[in-house]
Structure 1
Amino acid sequence: MVLTAVGELAGIATLVSELRAQGIDVDDSARRRSEYSYDASNYRVRPAAVAFPKTVDDVRAILRGCNGSGVPVTTRGGGTSMAGNAVGEGLIVDLSRWMTAVGEIDPESQTLWVEAGVVLGELRSRVEKSTAGEFTFAPDPSSLTRATIGGSIGNDACGNHSVAYGRMTHHVVEVDLVTADGAYLRAGRDGLRAVDDDPRSMARADELNTELTSLVQAHLAPLRTELRTIPRQVSGYHLGELLPEQGFDVARALAGSEGTCAIIVRARVALVPKPRTTALLCLGYESTVESARDVMTILAAGPSAIEGLDLSIVEIMRHRRGASSVDALPRGNAYLMVEFSADTIDAARAECEQLLERLRHDGRAVDHSIVTEPTLRAKLWRVREDGAGLSSRRLDGIQTWPGWEDSAVAPERLAGYLEELMALVDRFGYSAFVYGHFGAGCVHMRLDFDLRSGPGREVYEDFTREAAALVVAHGGSLSGEHGDGRARSELLDVMYSGEMIALFRAFKHAWDPTGVLNPGIIVDPEPFTASLALEGLPAPVESRTHLTLADPFVGNLHACIGVGRCRATSGGFMCPSYRATKDEKDSTRGRARVLQELVRSTGGSREGWSNPEVRDALDLCLSCKACSSDCPTGVDIAEAKSELLDDHYRGRLRPFTHYSIGWLPRWLPLLTKIAGPTNIASRNRALRRVGEWLGVSARRTLPAFVAERKIRRRISEAGFSDEADILIFADSFTRAFRPEVIPAAARVLTESGSTVGCTPDACCGLTWISTGQREGARRRLRRLIDRFDDGTDRAIVVLEPSCAAAIRDEGPKLVGGDAAQRVAKRVRSFAVAIDEALARGWKPSATPPEQAILQTHCHEHAVFGSESQRRALKGWGVADVVESSSCCGVAGNFGFEAEHFDVSMKVAEHSIRPALESGPGAPVLTDGFSCAMQVGQIDASRGSSHLATLLDPGRTPR
């Protein structure tokens, strides 16, 4: 074994220097080490450095250096391990940033080569596109949008459809790997061979083939009796794949090895035919155990998926994302989601109905629904896919943790196992969120362990040991797809004989004699109670009004458990800066981890908040607020950034942009009075260069200010009534830059059957919030609330969605009190108001276009959701709505700042630019002023419209 001192590794500084001299990107900064101190598990291990190889030669150089200097190596993909497989004290090797090449599909074998850093979801999309939807890549764990090929092979991941497609093992044909001593080998059926003509690689292949063959031949009996006993036996090494009857398949034997034997750099994976269509049968039950009793009946019907979840997760989803997110589920306290694939939707529905008839005979299901509409199916699947994140916090705020989240038994024993497991949970006084791949007998759960206190950890250890004995008594596996990692490796001797444990040790030693590869995992394990991240930490307290020394957990950052949805490159708005840079530091998770480490190291002292590492981590945060809704655990980095800026600059001179853009609503009354000269000045090159020096980008097209007299005329056109049943809030930005929206909105709302009035003038303080001037924001919000709280419950329709979001979300937090709550409840974005009117049966008189491009403002997405605008356009009659599914890149002051302009435009490449290119003649809907600015920046000849002006019954159709 490698002998290292905790915290400092001998030779690491020399190794880092040597690797950098070879052109390899190695980062040993404190900030980077903080980002990689965690994965999605309960564990924290601070690494010495992080390497980002770009080629196989880089990986070979890294391993030779580490092997020679005794520095441990932990390979990492998406960092979504829940068992602690992807943290280590030596060198973290992150393959996800650069090793992302995808080869061409071999049409004969329907296989292709992919590098280890390729994200599963991206591979699947590419395959489906290149085969016109004929083929796909099957494994689909819930982390599909950020888990990598290498990491998924390392854990032997599965997913929702493992009933039909099995584990990752079953889709790996060959792997290219680098051994600890730098040999470059290819593993597959019939053993290993050298990839190159390096004599060292050829010799190493021969050596390993001989040693592994001898190992198998000497222990045939235990390999045949202890391994491959249930569908989800993932714990330990897959040595059964080396048996003669299995073809001595070394590639499959390495699946689930968790980076302890070699670094897999490429894999040849098999594709499967893509189902033409699917139908989803949702079944409601009285309990999770009752649902498990129907699994064997359902399996006999041949579904492609059987997924289970309990009511507690559904309630969290309802609380976090609204009743509409779960409204298609049937009645029940537990659910099974059963999917059938077929050539036609009618055939798939018929399969659902035939199974339902058989289940009625048993009488356990209390309700059901059959879902065939694709959007509704996707919405229901999201409840299941977000289970781990959603269940990380109970409704009462108590956090839950993994630890016993991945046990598996044979499906026919699932009900009995669950019955005893839930009794064990009750006996220890825990509460559990239960979900899982019930068709494969795999149970995921999160429990409210106390991992902070000594007594709590002792109880956790006692529970885990009893749970391990229980699953083994049911013939099961400690791990069903997450691997053993730090959470379960110590318990393998409960599951396997001493002879098998010795075989595992021999297998590991054959590959890694010096023990540098992910030490302490599977073989010679560390105690599962060691390196727990919460040990010694106080319970978190969420800050809501102002940062204090005793209240350091701003932005709910401590809720981050490493799920990594912020690293997804598709689906949802989070996280635009990560999508632009592909750097962990620019993800919500990376930022939260840096701040968590700061709290740990400083105890929340004010000195720590000025740390340059923190500023670096938060620098590219656009304050888009998407993380507050898209992050399954609700981390709000925009709030954290605002609080940190507020703390840092209190009593200090701020950047120029904080006074110019941050105070813009204060300047607008003056600037609109002198709109002509102001607009001329904003186009002056010399003044723009001065502005660039002060921090306002000279490359950003600035908005044209509207003259005050034109603003007054537009407001008078609205014909506001004093006896109104709905009020319009004409915010500062709409008044100064798009006043034509005000009368248009009034006409639309009037046509919808409302009497429309106008709120008093006020400011929501949004720009003060985004620049961290929270006291100024609080004053403005308090004045606004005082003026708006008029004793009625009339809806307040805010034309600028970011202002609507600020009043709804920030008012109760910054100001507090009943009045803030009353006003917040009355606030609607314009799209929400229109959606409500359409639901009442109103039909706009304006002629809808055939196609429209929709850019939802990220603040509206975060606070009100994206569905209202989409439903409004569809309800109006727009046949084709092309959605930009991410932040536009401006997000308030960010896109106007000189140092952020390039990233702002890079963010636009992800979604809004492709959306614009997809419909060159279609109207572009940008209710958000920032979004409108970005559209104009991308294409100066392309205008965009507020929903009010599109629906305006007085507009002239184009």
Structure 2
Amino acid sequence: MHSKFTAPERAAILAKLQAAGVPVEGSAHRLAAYSYDASNYRIPPVGVVFPRSVDDVLAVMAACRETGTPLISRGGGTSMAGNAIGPGIVLDFSRHMNRIISVDEATGTADVEAGVVLAQLTRETEHATGGSLTFAPDPSSKNRATIGGAIGNDACGNHSVRYGRTSDHVHEIDVVTSDGALLTASDNGVLATDPSDAYSVSRASQLGEDLKKLAQDNLSAFRLELGRIQRQVSGYHLANLLPENGLNVARALVGTEGTCAVVVRARMKLVPKAPSALLVCLGYADVVDAAKDIETILDFSPAAVEGIDEAIVDTMRLRRGDDSVLGLPQGNAFLYVDLDGDDPDEVARQAALLLERLAANGRLVDGCAVPDSAERATLWRVREDGAGLSSRPASGGESHAGWEDSAVAPQNLAAYLADFRRLLDEYELTGIMYGHFGAGCMHIRITYDLRSEEGRSVFRKFTQAAAELVVRHGGSLSGEHGDGRARSALLPHMYSPDMLAAFEEYRRMWDEAGILNPGSITDPDPIDANLALEGVPEREWRTHFELRPVEAAAAGADPWVHAVQACIGVGRCRSDSGGVMCPSFRATGDEKDSTRGRSRVLQDMVRGARTIDEGWKSEDVREALDLCLACKACSNDCPAGVDMASYKSEFFSHYYEGKLRPMSHFSLGWLPRWLKLTSRISPLVNGVLASPLGKVVAAAGGLTTKRKMPKFASRKMLRDALAPYSAPAKTADAVLFVDSFTKGFRPEVAGAAARVMESTGRQVGCESDACCGLTWISTGQLDTAKKLMSKAVAKLDDGTDAPIVVIEPSCAAALKKDAPELLGTEAAERVSHRIRSFAEAVKEWVDAGWTPPAVPPDVTVQTHCHEYSTFGATVQRKALAALGVANVAEATGCCGVAGNFGFEANHYDISMKVAQQALAPALEGTAADTPVLADGFSCAMQVKQLEPERKSLHLAELLDPRNTVL
């Protein structure tokens, strides 16, 4: 295996970089986050650099060359083959070198830096060209994968059957070589990027001659062994150097996985965008039958032919609910066929003809065209979230990458899959299948046991057999993700000794120092070296949260270990659009502030790793978790189901044992207790807070002085609001749970909610003397939280099935999700099943026949993150649609307050940056007379902070029969 460095060696390398003026980071939490990508592997680096310019890259390269330190290029870190990690210095281009220099419609090219995210390039290209041009490669990770990464592993994507691979879309690539040359690889050679740079001019000239000679010396091998199928990504793409291909050095560099040079900039080709598209969804009995129809489908020149099996669908429904999968036809395996063209009527006619042809083939179980754009988006999300979801399938256990990227010619796919399933049966493994059926490329996650030596032995033997099988079918070990640490050692199964020698010579021509991304393609590590799940110490971690012990036992891991290892590096938390996760990363752009970055730090914690070895008392873990807003959005948006809010709460509960907590944990964490006092003396408290003394009081409590404090309500206000309504009784049709925030700050909402419930014809019971413990949960004071929650459950578990409607969404989520996980009792489960957020209840009442009052035609809504994650991402939108609101503008994102977070002095600035992501733009686009709904108290406070003159409403106030607000 490639060597790792001793402590003195690491110190010397870091000192060398710092002396060169390179800002290198080597903290324990930083190294932990960059020890992983989306593969099965873990290799701690020496340090991480976020270059801001090519000069920074040159300086890092010089220091690494002088010290013999490996250098690993990284974009979004989504590599599933282990080619974005290594034992030296990691260069992360995504943070700073991420500019789109220009989009040139006339030449059909875009000039971009290596860290540009693919989806961003697509959006800006379509905007700049009025939708006439687009950037074609669209892997499932397109909203966080970068151009540099796509060039590194020759990424393809859902529409590759039409548009091919990244190598089909490069015009020129600017690279830095290990000897410090800055070169431009083009479609007809290589030259110095700067003609006045004498060394680079000389280096380009010599390299060009060497590449020509390499091709001349290997004409037969290159022509016979390379480029045999559409998705032959394994190895180097040296056929591009052949005379008939014009010495296309740019295309030959694509797919080299950072082993030859460091990509810093590129000119990428753009393609015309079809004005009309239609998705055709097809259902089959199994994936083999689906693959048998591929040749028929390809006759229709589709833009995409993607496939998934029933395991992914079942898992999606289990993790996200039945509404997450809409529009699928009957069957156990499914194909998505994208047809496009200039005329929508002709596209529809082709879709009908395709369905007719497939029905005649006799294998199609069911099929339909999907014209609705929202339904298409839902279906595509099932496909795109497949990798993460299938890591913890509905059937139980775990599945892993490692053989997720094989490819054959499309006409051979059915036979290959039939043989592959027999191979799985032979080793008693299950394969969860999805991928690019139209290009013959399969992504298959397999139920290896990588935690035990016996399981790793099966992994080794099976992978060898799988390599032999795909080669027998004329295929490639990799069809998209590259070879990396997962498959490089298997290349002798696919290529002759002469070809392997040519690969080695090609690499030496570029990287004479031999420091770039060691362990990939040539001179590889064994496929079972550096596995992340190997060597995790067996230890019982005492936790407050119930973390699915049955599932954990099946996986052979402690529940806490199993929970924090849910993250497999998919990286959706690094996206800048779509969903709500992860607001802090979107604010800072720093990996350490992403859900994935935090997960990796926790994973190193349970390893007892050198970088982070203090367990529950680790300061590095505390720092990594500091900017987590505990919004819980990751529990919904993360394909792997990571719930960082719960992990943060659990960690803080142990970290602060025997330590002095921050003052905000008392001022805000104990808020329900303080409210009992403030309700008696609210005029005095409000007067103090409104005076200059208020800032002193806030600062003493660890609170920001920049945020306007809410006014405290009196006990009389709550009594007046709820006077007509009884306490909970077995005769009540519905129970209204009045939470601490509502009692303490806006009791008028409780009255409105009770009147709305009464107007539905229900007998309303009220529970206003219980606390869900939310503020103690969010600050990690779990012993107290459990006591309060247990008392609340005892009061609410009254032997009836009456729905419990909770006014505050975060408290509803606490009773719905946290109560069963913290208490682990049947009573908590019973109460959980009865909990409704107010918006969820409204939808049920309308569906049951209630006629609501008239509502305005336009509404802007800020959905609370906890409601979004626990009750469904569209809960508010569905409720408003049921009520008859015609136009709903939704601020899809965290408001930034997130309970105590936005009130804490050290988090205020991040809180306001988060607000700018969705809420602030939504408010700016909302007319003064359009209602703004913010059911969450935190959200309402942020609306007030952003626009002091605007009053937000709870949905109950909008529907209140006494409503005089509108």
TM-score in terms of structure 2 length: 0.96
SS of residue matched to 1:407: coil
Q: Secondary structure, in 3 states, of the residue corresponding to 1:757?
A: strand
Shift of 1:608: 2.3
CA distance in 1, matches of 2:501, 2:791: 72
- Which residue type is aligned with residue 742 of structure 2? T
Distance 2:537 2:317 in 1: 29
1:271-350 equivalences under 5 Å are 271-343=270-342, 345-350=344-349
CA displacement, residues 638-676 of structure 1 (integer Å, 9 cap, x when unaligned): 111111111122243322111110010111122122111
Residue 70 of structure 1 pairs with residue 68 of structure 2 = yes
CA distance in 2, matches of 1:488, 1:870: 46
- Residue 906 (str. 1) matches residue 905 (str. 2): no
Return the offset for 1:844: 2.3
- Report the secondary structure of 1:559's partner residue: coil
Aligned residue number for residue 582 of structure 1: 589
Partner residue in 1 for 2:22: 24
Match of 1:622 in 2: 629
Does residue 712 (structure 1) correspond to residue 719 (structure 2)? The answer is yes
Query: 1-side partners of 2:153 and 2:706: how far apart?
Result: 47
Q: Describe the SS at the equivalent of 1:563.
A: coil
Sort the Cα spacing of 1:547 and 1:376 in 2 relative to 1 into closer, same or farther, 3 A: closer
Deviation at 1:760, TM superposition (A): 5.1
Distance of 1:925 and 1:719 partners within structure 2 = 28
Aligned residue number for residue 609 of structure 1: 616
846, 865, 869: which is aligned to 1:858?
A: 865
Q: Residue 75 of structure 1: SS of its match in structure 2? A: strand
2:397 aligned partner, one-letter code: I
Q: Distance in 1 between matches of 2:718 and 2:243?
A: 83
C-alpha separation between the residues in 2 aligned to 1:906 and 1:381?
30
Which AA in structure 1 matches 2:30?
Answer: R
Q: Which runs of 5+ in 2 are unaligned?
A: 550-556
Question: Which residue in 2 is equivalent to 1:95?
Answer: 93
Q: How do residues 185-196 of structure 1 correspond to structure 2 at under 5 angstroms? A: 185-196=183-194
Secondary structure of the structure 2 residue equivalent to 1:910? coil
Residue 323 to residue 120, structure 1, CA distance change in 2 (3 Å)? same
Retained in 2: the 8 A contact 1:602–1:608? no
Question: Residue 469 of structure 2 aligns to a residue in which SS?
Answer: helix
CA distance in 1, matches of 2:613, 2:105: 61
- What is the identity, as a one-letter code, of the residue corresponding to 1:400? S
Report the residue type matching 2:332 in the other structure. Answer: N
Cα distance change on mapping 1:16 and 1:603 into 2, 3 Å: closer
Structure 1 residue 300 displacement after superposition: 0.7
Q: Aligned in 2, Cα 1:50/1:721: closer, same or farther, shift over 3 Å?
A: closer
CA distance in 2, matches of 1:406, 1:757: 57
| 2:412 is the counterpart of 1:413 | yes
Cα 1:944/1:419, change in 2 over 3 Å: same
Which residue does the alignment assign to 1:153?
151
The CA deviation at 1:99 is 0.4
Of 796, 801, 805, which residue of structure 1 is paired with 2:809?
A: 801
1:826-861, CA deviations, whole angstroms, 9 ceiling, x for partnerless residues? Answer: 000011111222333444222323x32221111111
**What one-letter code is carried by the residue in structure 2 that aligns with 1:611?**
S
**Alpha carbons 2:535, 2:607 under 8 Å: kept:** no
Partner of 1:433: 432
2:153–2:255 contact (8 Å) kept in structure 1: yes
Give the one of 755, 778, 781 matched to 2:763.
755
Is the CA contact 1:551–1:604 (under 8 Å) kept in the aligned structure 2?
no
> Residues 541 and 127 from structure 1, CA distance in 2 versus in 1: closer, same or farther, beyond 3 angstroms?
farther
Tell whether 2:555 aligns with 1:556: no
Deviation at 1:756, TM superposition (A): 2.6
8 Å Cα contact 1:554/1:643 also seen in 2: no
How far is 1:554 from its partner? 6.2
Report how far residue 716 of structure 1 moved.
2.4
Q: What is the root-mean-square deviation in Å for CA atoms of aligned residues?
A: 2.1
Residue identity opposite 1:67 in structure 2 = R
The 8 Å contact of residues 746 and 756 in structure 1, kept in 2 or not, is answered as yes
Report if the CA contact (8 A) 1:241-1:249 is conserved: yes
Residue of structure 1 aligned with 2:136, choices 126, 135, 138? 138
Of 931, 940, 945, 1:932 maps to: 940
User: Match of 2:224, as an amino acid?
Assistant: T
Q: Find the aligned partners of 1:555 and 1:620 in 2 and give their Cα distance.
A: 23
Deviations 1:216-263 (A, max 9, x none): 122111111111111101000111111222221111111110000101
Match of 1:225 in 2: 224
1:64, distance to aligned residue in structure 2 (A) = 1.5
SS in 2 for 1:838: helix
Q: Is the 8 A contact 2:853 2:961 kept in 1?
A: yes
The answer to whether the 8 Å contact 1:542/1:556 transfers is: no
| Residue among 799, 818, 827 paired with 1:810 | 818
Separation in structure 2 between the aligned mates of residue 686 and residue 348 of structure 1, nearest angstrom? 69
Tell me the distance in 2 between the aligned counterparts of 1:297 and 1:369.
16
Q: Which amino acid is the alignment partner of residue 348 of structure 1?
A: V
Superposed, 1:279-678 pairs within 5 Å as: 279-343=278-342, 345-537=344-536, 545=544, 551=558, 553=560, 556-601=563-608, 607-678=614-685
Q: Aligned equivalents of 1:165 and 1:740: distance in 2?
A: 58
**1:30 positional shift:** 1.7
TM-score (norm 1): 0.97
Matched-pair contact (CA < 8 Å) for 2:612–2:618? no
1:132-281 to 2 correspondences below 5 Å: 132-196=130-194, 197-281=196-280
Question: Which is further off, 601-610 or 124-133?
Answer: 601-610
- Does the Cα contact within 8 Å between 1:543 and 1:554 map onto a contact in 2? no
Aligned residue pairs total 955
Contact 2:114 2:264 in 1 (8 A): yes
Secondary structure of 2:100's partner?
coil
**For 1:308 and 1:542, how far apart are their aligned partners in 2?**
40
Give the aligned partner of residue 48 of structure 2.
Answer: 50
1:119 to 101, 117, 125: 117
Q: In the alignment, what sits opposite 2:800?
A: 792
- Cα shift at 1:32: 1.1
AA in 2 matched with 1:848: P
Give, in whole Å, the separation in 2 of the partners of 1:33 and 1:559.
Answer: 19
Q: Percent identity?
A: 53
Q: Is the 8 A contact 1:189 1:247 kept in 2?
A: yes
What is the alpha-carbon distance in structure 2 between the residues aligned to residue 944 and residue 787 of structure 1? 32
The CA deviation at 1:125 is 1.7
The alignment partner of 1:341 has SS state of strand
Q: Is the contact between residue 718 and residue 747 of structure 2 (CA under 8 Å) also seen in structure 1?
A: yes
CA change 1:40–1:866 in 2 (3 A) is same
Do the aligned partners of residues 390 and 13 (structure 1) sit closer, same or farther apart at CA in structure 2, a change above 3 Å counting? Answer: same
Match of 1:875 among 858, 879, 882: 882
CA separation of 1:847 and 1:595: change in aligned 2, threshold 3 A: closer
Query: Separation in 2 of the partners of 1:793 and 1:631?
Result: 32
| SS of match in other structure, 2:565 | helix
Distance in structure 2 (CA, Å) of the matches to 1:354 and 1:188? 43
Work out the CA distance in 2 between the residues paired with 1:345 and 1:376: 18
